[in-house]
Amino acid sequence: MENFSMLNRPRRNRKSAVIRNMVQENYVQASNLIFPLFIVDGEKKKETIASMPGIYRYSIDNLLKEVESCLNIGLKAFDLFPNIEEHLKDKTASQAYINGGLYLRAIEAVKKNFPEACIVTDVAMDPYSSDGHDGLVSEDGEILNDETLEILGKMALAQAHAGADIIAPSDMMDGRVGYIRNVLDQHGFSNVSIMSYTAKYASAFYGPFREALQSAPKAGDKKTYQMNPANSKEALIEAMLDTQEGADFLMVKPALAYLDIIKQLNEQFDLPIAAYNVSGEYAMVKASVQNGWLDEGRTVGEILMGMRRAGATAILTYHAKEAIQNKWI
């Protein structure tokens, strides 16, 4: 080996922590993260979710304490999701937009107490629907697209009035981004952003989330409106339409099995890309950590970095608070 010569040795740029940090290409920061939070009615409640260790349903008073603790460590963006009591649900999801509803009260409370917080709100019927679907269900079980849009518009407008910074339609109805954009603009909310669930797949990874909200469909499934996991070109069609209709962010959900979709959207569209690191992905990590199979900090850091490397500007993740507190990113 005395005469062996190699001009290019990539390991030279890995030989020390200083150099590795110097040439690092991607970073995950608190500013990239959005923390989903679950809300329940009542007072002094902090309910555990069996399939999501470390994540809770909060009554509004405890929600405010949780938001404050997050703001104190630099986590400033939150996506709120309501757990609605079964007897309040109906076919038209009226609890989503009536005055005094749980969700609207929660948005108002957070913005009143912490105006610096960025509040992302969910637009879909399933948490409030007696059918458990994201759209209006006909007598014969069909999910009615155009009739649903009017309900989604009411929801978005009510959330904007309550103080939402970003409206996030997660329903996957055709045309909902343009419909919501028009409703918001007509009522003076042209500065409220839309983070569209652009490529939301009919995934097995949503189970813990549906437990948290108790919002699973009462009949059938969501495959007529959520996307087939086998398809990627379809995501480009959805992204083109959402861009044309006025979206401000394009979201991919779930994230880990769809990094290729995140990358494609990032390369082909100029809008910021969001990734939803969903409940099932979170639960898998937590279960492995509890069994001693994975190092939690390194695993979470690697997962979030993978999403950033693929092109996600914003990452919705249940790991957000722990990742910042424990310096996993």
Mean per-residue pLDDT, 111-121: 98
Q: What is the chain's mean pLDDT, rounded?
A: 95
Domain residue limits, the chain: 27-325
Which of 279 and 2 is assigned the larger pLDDT? 279
**Homologous superfamily, domain 27-325:** Aldolase class I (3.20.20.70)
Cα 300 to Cα 302: distance, rounded to the nearest angstrom: 5
Count of C-beta atoms within a 10 Å radius of residue 73: 12
Whether 300 and 256 have beta carbons less than 8 Å apart is answered as: no
Contact between residue 174 and residue 145 where contact means Cβ atoms under 8 Å apart: yes
With a pLDDT cut of 70, the percent of the chain lying above it is 98
The pair phi, psi for residue 6, each rounded to 5°, is -140, 115
Is the pLDDT assigned to residue 299 strictly greater than 80? Answer: yes
**pTM score, two decimals?**
0.95
Give the type of residue at 163: G
Q: Active-site residue numbers?
A: 200, 253
37: β partners: 80
- Do 57 and 214 form a contact (C-beta atoms < 8 A)? no
Angle at CA of residue 66, ends 78 and 111, nearest 5°: 55
- Strand, helix or coil at 143? strand
Beta-strand ranges (E) seen in the chain are 33-40, 46-48, 56-58, 77-83, 118-123, 136-137, 143-144, 166-169, 193-200, 249-253, 273-277, 314-317
CB 166 within 8 A of CB 158: no
- Whether the CB-CB separation of 71 and 94 falls below 8 Å is answered with no
| In the predicted structure, residue 73 carries a pLDDT above the cut 80 | yes
28 has pLDDT over 70? yes
- The pairing of strands 273-277 and 314-317 is parallel
State phi, psi for 194 to the nearest 5 degrees: -120, 120
